[in-house]
């Protein structure tokens, strides 16, 4: 595998591959990312990368948990940038492993900027985003003829707090949105959408730990969203406008009953 450099010429022998780890299950990792992990000297990974994927990193590869460096879960981005640049500066083949896809709420641009400023070449290997795994888990497609012509990928949170969105557009019947980082913002999202006329019975399905052994599906509606979101402990995608397909729902209910 020889991915094309995305930018720049290297002034140091080190390189960085940004790689998407997918939602957690090893089955959802691409062959390209697996090969990159196998050829790496150093893997710098996020907190959200699944255990099954971490287990595929060869033992001789140096593993750095960027979520735990410094100050725990809220490691400043500048410290992570410095970490990547520092390792690549020694000539190492660095894989920067991010949960899901590299280009969705992954702060990829900040890290690319830092590498570019340091004159370090990089490539990008995308991954499967958690919304795709969440939709598959409930037996739904993210777009459907006659229902939604587009899919919105939104965040519940940004640097300023709860994120503002096009609530009026989202409140229209048939809209579908994959809401990332929506747990804490769920009551805010619920309030904004209802205020803009969304029906209280609009389905919202919460998929926690999508694709992992501890995956949980919670079928809610806009009116129950905030109360049901309070039960979430792990990372979750809120699938606004989608209910679990009946047959799949029956199966997960069965799994829960026999667990």
- In the complex with ligand SAH, the residue whose CB is nearer, 115 or 185, is 185
Mention every residue, 6+ apart, whose C-beta is less than 8 A from residue 258. none
Cβ proximity to ligand SAH, 171 vs 236, nearer residue: 236
Which residue out of 27, 41, 65, 68 is catalytically annotated? 68
Q: Would you say 82 and 102 are in contact if contact means Cβ atoms under 8 Å apart?
A: no
Q: Are strands 236-240 and 177-180 parallel, antiparallel or unpaired?
A: antiparallel
Alpha carbons 81 and 10: distance in angstroms, whole number: 17
**Contact (Cβ atoms closer than 8 angstroms) between residue 142 and residue 176:** yes
Rounded CA-CA distance 95/98 in Å is 9
Query: Between 123 and 186, whose beta carbon lies closer to ligand SAH?
Result: 186
Q: Which residue is nearest to ligand SAH (CB)?
A: 100
Catalytic status, residue 101: no
Q: Is 161 helix (H, G, I), strand (E, B) or coil?
A: strand
Known active-site residue 46: yes
Minimum distance from residue 89 beta carbon to ligand SAH (Å): 26
DSSP for residue 5:
P
Smallest distance from ligand SAH to CB 212, Å: 6
Q: Which residues bind ligand SAH (CB under 6 A)?
A: 23-24, 48, 98-101, 104-106, 129-130, 134, 180-181, 207, 209-212, 235-237
Nearer to ligand SAH, 14 or 46 (CB): 46
Enumerate the active-site residues.
46, 68
């Amino acid at each position: 595998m020889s991915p094309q450099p995305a930018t720049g010429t290297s002034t140091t022998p080190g390189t960085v591959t940004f790689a998407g780890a997918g939602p957690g299950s090893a089955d959802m990792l691409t062959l390209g990312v697996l090969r990159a992990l196998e050829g790496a000297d150093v893997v710098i990974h996020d907190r959200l990368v699944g255990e099954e994927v971490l287990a595929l990193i060869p033992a001789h590869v140096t593993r750095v948990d960027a979520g735990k460096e410094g100050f725990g879960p809220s490691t400043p981005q500048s410290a992570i940038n410095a970490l990547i640049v520092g390792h690549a500066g020694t000539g190492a083949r660095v894989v920067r492993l991010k949960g899901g896809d590299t280009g969705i709420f992954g702060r990829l641009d900040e890290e690319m900027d830092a590498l570019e400023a340091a004159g370090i070449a990089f490539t990008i290997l995308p991954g499967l985003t958690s919304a795709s795994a969440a939709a598959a888990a409930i037996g739904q497609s993210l777009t459907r003829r006659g229902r939604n012509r587009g899919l919105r990928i939104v965040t519940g949170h940004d640097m300023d707090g709860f994120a503002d969105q096009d609530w009026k557009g989202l409140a229209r019947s048939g809209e579908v949105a994959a809401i990332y980082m929506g747990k804490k913002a769920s009551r805010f999202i619920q309030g904004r959408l209802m205020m803009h006329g969304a029906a209280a019975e609009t389905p919202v399905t919460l998929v926690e730990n999508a694709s992992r052994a501890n995956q949980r599906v919670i079928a809610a509606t806009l009116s129950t969203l905030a109360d049901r979101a309070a039960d979430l402990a792990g990372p979750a995608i809120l699938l606004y406008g989608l209910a679990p397909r009946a047959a799949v729902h029956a199966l997960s209910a069965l799994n829960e009953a026999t667990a």
